[in-house]
A = this chain, B = another copy of it.
Amino acid sequence: MPELRKDPVVGRWVIISTDRARRPSDVATEPVRPTGANCVFCEGNERKTPPELLAGRAPGSAADGPGWSYRIVPNKFPALRIEGEIDPVGEGLFDRMNGVGAHEVVIETPRHDGSLATLSPEAVTDVLVACRDRIRDLKQDPRFQYILIFKNHGEAAGASLEHPHSQLIATPIIPVMVAEELAGSGRYFEIKERCVWCDIVRQETRTQRRIVLEGDGFTALAPFAPRLPFETWILPTRHRAAFEESGVDELRGLARVLGEFLRRMNGVLRDPPYNFMLHTAPLRDAPVESFHWHLEIIPKLTKVAGFEWGSGFYINPIPPEDAAAALRAPGG
């Protein structure tokens, strides 16, 4: 059983996930990158994954067989386990609890060489709607406080499998990054009675200096203080706290903006490794007035080094104004 442990000084939780590596030497092993017939996510190999939870299927096709456009399956090597109770216990001054959660894989296309950048807007919309529906389903489990959807694309971004996929992890605790956004945006709302992300979108739209892309109800922008070169946020232009409340029309808009952004990024940065992370409101007692969901996209062009690890400061050699200008150019 994986375990959640809390650092007694800063309160940071880590997942000690012993199911994923058994011996110390295991961590140094290179990730496997099977292709074609050996890829567990390719069409025809459906039996190599746990049974599907949700899939886009051709009429008449059977579950866990061919004939799908996307599949969502439990992760075969989950960081957190779906079974069991949270059961918090102390160990002297330390705190731990069972690593209860959900860990699912969103296989975005049956094609090994596909990608969110090249799929049709309709296909991307279907994937986004499926993610929304998984959140809606998992939200009914009272053990979970938060659901993070994220993507690791390319080895430098931490991907261990090449086939296009995203992941979903439901956690029994609100992650610290989200807690910090909740706290900061809550303080801002208390003073201004406005959502800080709404104010950011308004100010950026006025100056245009860091805007990458606008339209279809979404704004893609380079944040004022980006951690990494070409970091980009995509936000619904109008206030929206929870991703899972999005309608299909809204997600169609997101699919178009996301696809266009990824194509521009791939053009400017020559298909970089990248991560994205969806920050949405917590599942319970969400502050709907002060939180605004957003997708954070970070190409992995530089390495995080000792200064970042030790300080929490990031050194970014590319001003976001220059990054936004480069990403705006392909469109005119």
Contact = CB atoms under 8 A, between A and B. Distances in A.
Interface string A19-33: 011001011100000
B171 A311 contact: yes
A119 interface: no
A94 B181 CA distance: 16
A315 interface: yes
Interface string A172-201: 000111101100110010000000110110
Contact of A314 (B15, B167, B303, B312): B15
Query: Which applies to chain A's interface (DSSP): helix, strand, loop or mixed?
Result: mixed
Given A18-B317, A311-B171, A229 B27 contact: yes
Contacts of A207: 92
Contact of A227 (B14, B18, B152, B188): B14
B9 A188 contact: yes
Interface in A219-247: 223-227, 229-230
A181 B203 CA distance: 34
A316 interface: yes
A279 interface: yes
Contacts of A167: 306-307
Contacts of A309: 150, 177, 275, 277, 296, 298
- Taken together, the copies of this chain in the complex come to 2
Contacts of A161: none
Interface in A8-60: 8-18, 20-21, 24, 26-28
A265 B97 CA distance: 29
A151 B306 contact: yes
A70 interface: no
Interface string A281-307: 000000000000000101001111111
Interface centre among A21, A28, A272, A313 (most CB of B within 10 A): A313
Interface residues of A, number: 93
Contacts of A86: none
Contacts of A314: 12, 14-15
Contact of A94 (B171, B224, B301): B224
Interface string A306-329: 110111111111111011001000
A148 B298 CA distance: 26
A269 interface: yes
A8 B210 CA distance: 15
Nearest to A204: B92
A27 B224 contact: no
B225 A13 contact: yes
A310 B11 contact: no
A2 to B, nearest CB: 9
A169 interface: yes
A180 B10 contact: yes
A317 B7 contact: no
14 contacts: A8-B184, A9-B180, A13-B313, A14-B225, A15-B314, A20-B315, A21-B229, A24-B326, A27-B317, A79-B307, A148-B310, A158-B305, A177-B310, A275-B310
Q: Which 8 A/B pairs are nearest by Cβ-Cβ distance?
A: A158-B305, A277-B310, A150-B306, A175-B311, A21-B317, A176-B312, A275-B306, A5-B225
